[in-house]
Structure formats: structure tokens, C-alpha cells
Amino acid sequence: MRQGQDKPRRSTRSLLLDRGGNTLAIMAAALIPLSAMAGSAVDMARMYVVKVRLQQACDAGVLAGRKFMTLDSGTSLGTDATNRATAFFDNNFKVGWYGTSAPDPAKRFVPTRTSDNQVSGVATITLPMTVMKMFGKPDVVLSTTCMARFDVADVDTMFVLDITGSMTCAANESVCTMTSETYTRDDGTTGYSYTEKPSSKIRALRSAVLSYYDTLKSSADTATKLRFGFVPYASSVNAGAAIRAGNPSLMVSPQWAYQSRRVIGDANDGGSYTSAGTGFTYAACMQYNGLRSPQSGWDGNGRAVYYSNANWSSRNGYCSATTQGLRPLWRYGQWNADITGFLAGNPVQDPSQVVTAMTRWSGCIEERMTTPGVTSFDQANLPPDLDPDRVPTDTATRWRPMWPESVYIRNNPGPASQDTADDLNAIGSVGNQQGGFAACGKPVKRITPMDRTDVSNYVNAVDFRAIGGTYHDVGMIWGTRLLSPTGVFANDTAAWPNRNAPNRNIIFMTDGAMAPNETIYGMYGLEWSDQRVSGGDFGNLTAYHNARFLAECDAAKARNITVWVVAFGQTINDELRNCASTPDRAFFASDNATLTTQFQSIARRIAMLRLSQ
């Protein structure tokens, strides 16, 4: 009996100790959890893909809904906007995609209007499980929310526009002949410009500015606040009226020094000759000895006569005298001038003339002091001319009126004076003004609300004309200054009551590279003599102006102003690219049509809808 009972025990023990076939059993047991893990990974990946696509479709729907929503006194989104939103959602998330369905078809996507007139949305779908369904995992309900709002709400746009002489040419002209013409300014004074060709760039610019306005306006709802400003520039800017309207004390007064001339004595005007006559008494004849006529000053032609060596004869009262014509002996140099009446816009006598010569300020200004002969600037310590926020407090930081009629070019550069009886090259002469050596264009427009008629009237005004040389720094300095939220004109660009700060934009348009000339009288005075930028190093004058230009571009960007640059009819250079806030905000327009397209593109990007969540 015992022997028979021991056999099963030995068999069981042997089976337990035998490892053959264990691997197959273990693998069979592990297949179930492994299948669950793989199925979970597959279904989790499906859920991620579907959730991302659902969010994208929701975003597209609310963007479309906000785009087509109209503002009224109601609280509903409106039938048209709702249908547009739903259509965009459906196009981006097809019914049945990945086997999805809607728990409630009426609530698959629900766009609504918010209390602050934006559009929110909720998208809800059911995603069936695949592998995990075998393990009893139910279908998953996925839901997402989205909201769209216009980011255009409140935009300030400052147009900084090149109005140099080449703007009267066509975009495809490499060589252009310019013809001078005159026009009458609003104050009755004579202005100078070049005749515009029918396909000129300045005509295209007018059209592009209006297209920008139309595009931006059409993208905004009635609650959006839009403001615009203009800085037409060449070698100068006409900022006088804008400055004085804010505070007349921002201008230098009561005097400023110009590279001018004053009379320091008499000079012979040709050779001497003998004058004679009869009927004189001895006493009357002797009065001509040492006589100057007029006794002081000059006649209406700016001349005088000096008599000497008078001789009298009793026969017929004959009197003769040596006669010498006189003309002014000038000292050309830096002279102070009383500018009180000139600043007020009154006709005043040109102090550099001895004959009647009434002049009136056209509004262009000389810039305040700068640092000459440098090609880099510290944004934390900018000189007065480049600091958009510096409030004028003294002569160095105040602006000065340009007075081209009273400025002259001496034979030699530098500050040294020159004494001569010759009439040297007067910057204010008709010839120099026709040549653009003292350009003074249309007055700048400070940031202000403008409708389409206002914008059209500005760019189509009789004084929106082209003449002068290309000084990009001149335009950028004043564009930044007028738009800075912390500067002299900060009130113009301040946030509207109970609203966020506006998006501030400079649109800088030019048709050429920097091209300064030391014999031009402009915003930095007469470089030939003043040497405020070059310090006398005319060979690097372009580099010095480019450094100022880029420093001011950086100053604008530091104040959260977005800088857009459009190069028109030329290859865009590195300075212009670097001025733009980002590389994709620098554009090139080869022809008139492209210029309009680029301006429209900028407006659309400024008015672009943005998802808030």
C-alpha cells in the first residue's frame, strides 16, 4: 500500500521541478495585459489627434463668426455669423471623421456672442474606442472651448513718407529728368517742387495710403478707434506748426544764430570817376568833400556813393568831385538774428539784406543739438536730437526755425568767417530752392482721428509735393517723436478713455537710399559750415546719417512701436531691413500696383484676428 501511494507524490514533485514549457504559459498569460497596453496607446493617440483637430476647427469657427458679426444693440451672434462660424467648423472637422459623432447634433459646435462683443465657442464630439472597446472601455466625449477677438482695436498709424525729388519719376525709370515748378502755399508764400509724371511714384503713394486706410477701416468694427498721422520728409520736416500748437516755448526764442552775413563796412563798387555841375555856391560845392549818400545805409539797390576832392570855380558856379560807388562789405559767418516775429509767422525783414526783402517762416525746423562724427549710439543716453522723449528746457534742446533766405555758403568749409564784397551763394535764392537745396514740404500731421476724406485731403493737398534730398533719419526722428507714448506729444497717442493702449505703427516708405549733401540746408543746418553731423568729415557723412537713422528705428522699437518699411522702386538695402521691427515687416515694391498691394498687406496684418484662448 505504501509503495503505491508514494508514486503520485513523486510524479507531482517531478512536474513542479520540470521547467520545460513554462515560457509558453507565461506568454499566453501576458497577452491580455499587453494587448490592453497597446490598445490604450493606440486609442490615446487617436484621442490626441482628434482633440487637436477639434481645437483647430473650433478656432476657425469663432474667427469666422467674429469676422462676420455685426455690432448692434442685441446680444445674439446673428444668423449670418452663426452660419459662417458653423460652416468653417464643419469644413475643418468633417462629420464622422475618425468615427466621431455628436452626443447632441445641435450642440456639436455652438458659437455665442460674449458681453464684450467677441465670439466664444464650444465644440463637443464623441470618439469611439477601437482596441479598448474589447476591454469594456466606453466611448469618450471630447470637448474644447475657443474665443476670437479683433486685435485691431485701437490703432495709431504714423506714415513717414519720402517726398524727395525722385518721387516725381516713374518706378521703372533708372534715369529721370526733373522739371522745377512753383505753387502757392496756404500762407501765400511760394513753394517749389518738381513736376509729377503721370505714372509718378508720388501719385502711386497717394493711392497706396488711401488703400491702406480702406483696408484697415473695413477690418474694424464701429467700436474700434483709429488715428493717423503724417511725416513727409526730405532733407527737412515741416514741424513748426505742430510744435507751436503744443507749446510755443518748445522753440528757441528770441534769437538764433545762422550761417548768414552782416555789413561791416563799405567796399568800392567799381572805379572812381568825376562828377561835375554848375550853379553851385562855394559852400554848396564844398559840402561834397567827404559826403556819403545816403549818409548811412543804402539806396533801394543796395548801393551808396562817396564824394571827395571837391573843386569849385566862380565861373558859372562850376563844381566837380571824385565820385566812388560803394557796395556793402560783408562778413559771412554765424550771426544771431531776432526771430520773434519770424516765429510768429509774420512777414519780417531778412537781416542779411540791405534792401527791402520781406520773408516769412514756412514752418521747417532745425533740429536740436546732436553728437557729431559718431556711428553708434547708446539707447540709454541718446543726444537731444535722437531722444524722442526729451522735453526741451534750454537752447540745446529746443527747436529752431529754418531761415533759408538768410543762409549763405562760404567759399571754405567750417566755422571760419569770410569778409568780401561779393554776394556769395544764398541758400534761399530761387535757383537753390528750385534745385532742392532748401526743401520745405507739407506740414506734418500729428496723430489724430481722421476719416477717409481727411486722409484724402492731406495726400492730395496742393503742398503734398516732391523735392529735395533723401535723409531717412530726418523722417524717422519725427515719426518716432510724434508717436512716442512717453514723449513731448504723448497725449496725442494716449489710450482712449477706459481702453487699452493702442497698437502703434510707423509705416516708413522711401524710394531711395540715404543721400546727404554737405551743401544742403536742412534739419541739421548747413553742414558745410555747421558740421553738426559730420564734425567736418564729409567723406563719412552718409554713414553718420545712417547711424542716426538706425538709432531712431531702435528707439521706436524700444517704445513698443511696430516699424514697417516699404522700399519702392529700388532694391531694399540692409539699413532699411534693419529698421523694420522684424524681417517680415520689410517690403519691396517694384511698381505702382505692388506698392498698393504692400500697403494693403500691412493693413490686413495690423487688423489680423487673434485667438484669445
DSSP, collapsed to helix, strand or coil, labels residue 332 as: strand
pLDDT at 2 (0 to 100) = 46
Alpha-carbon distance of 157 to 165, in angstroms, equals 25
Average pLDDT, the chain: 90
Q: What percent of the chain has pLDDT over 70?
A: 89
Q: Are 391 and 398 in contact (CB under 8 A)?
A: no
DSSP E strand stretches across 36-92: none
In angstroms, what CA-CA distances link 256 with 14, 132, 527? Answer: 119, 88, 17
121-148: per-residue pLDDT in tens?
999 988 887 655 665 568 888 899 999 8
pLDDT at position 232, please? Answer: 98
pLDDT bin (cut points 50, 70, 90) of residue 71 is low
CA distances from 262 to 258, 293, 328, 329, 587 (A): 11, 20, 9, 8, 50
Residue 78 has pLDDT above 70, yes or no: yes
Give every CB contact of residue 121 below 8 A, 6+ residues apart in sequence.
58, 61, 62, 65, 85, 89, 109, 110, 111, 112, 145, 146, 147
Cα separation of 355 and 298, whole Å? Answer: 7
- CA of residue 340 relative to chain centroid, distance: 31
User: Which of 480, 479, 407, 492 lies closest to 444 in space, CA to CA?
Assistant: 479
* Spatial separation of the C-alpha atoms in residues 99 and 140, rounded to whole Å: 12
As beta bridge partners, residue 182 has 192
Q: Is the dihedral of CA 111, 114, 120, 126 positive or negative?
A: negative
pLDDT digits (tens, 9 = 90+) for 353-409: 999 999 999 999 999 999 999 999 999 999 999 999 999 999 999 999 999 999 999
Tens digit of each residue's pLDDT (9 = 90 or more) over 452-483: 999 999 999 999 999 999 999 999 999 999 99
User: Three-class SS of residue 349?
Assistant: strand
Tell me: the pLDDT tens digits for 85-114? Answer: 999 999 999 888 878 888 888 889 999 998
Give the whole-angstrom CA distance, residue 298 versus residue 292.
Answer: 10
* pLDDT tens profile 261-299: 999 999 999 999 999 999 999 999 999 999 999 999 999
The span from the CA of 250 to the CA of 248, in Å, is 5
Average pLDDT over residues 26-52: 64
Q: What would the grid cell of residue 531 be? A: 558740421
One-letter amino acid for residue 273 of the chain: Y
| 219-223, 442-446, 471-475: the lowest-pLDDT one | 219-223
Question: What is the C-alpha to C-alpha distance for residues 118 and 120, in angstroms, rounded to an integer?
Answer: 7
Residue written as grid cell 462683443: 117
Q: In the structure grid, which three cell numbers stand for residue 76, read together?
A: 445674439
Where in the chain do CATH 3.40.50.410 domains reside?
A: 155-239+363-402+438-611
The residues, ordered by sequence, that sit 6+ positions from 211 with a Cβ below 8 Å of its Cβ are: 596, 599, 600, 603
Q: Which residue has the higher pLDDT, 360 or 48?
A: 360
For residue 562, count other CB atoms closer than 10 A to its CB: 19
Alpha carbon distance, N-terminus to C-terminus of the chain = 86
- Grid coordinates belonging to 403: 531761415
Question: Positive or negative, the Cα torsion across 367, 581, 389, 441?
Answer: positive
CATH of domain 155-239+363-402+438-611: 3.40.50.410
- Contact, 261 vs 330, CB < 8 A? yes
Contact predicate 357/426, CB 8 Å: no
Give the pLDDT score at 571. Answer: 84
Range ranked top by mean pLDDT from 47-51, 135-139, 580-584: 580-584
Least confidently predicted of 9-18, 148-157, 337-346: 9-18
Position 77 pLDDT exceeds 90: no
Q: Would you state the cell numbers that stand for residue 166, as one nine-digit string?
A: 525722385
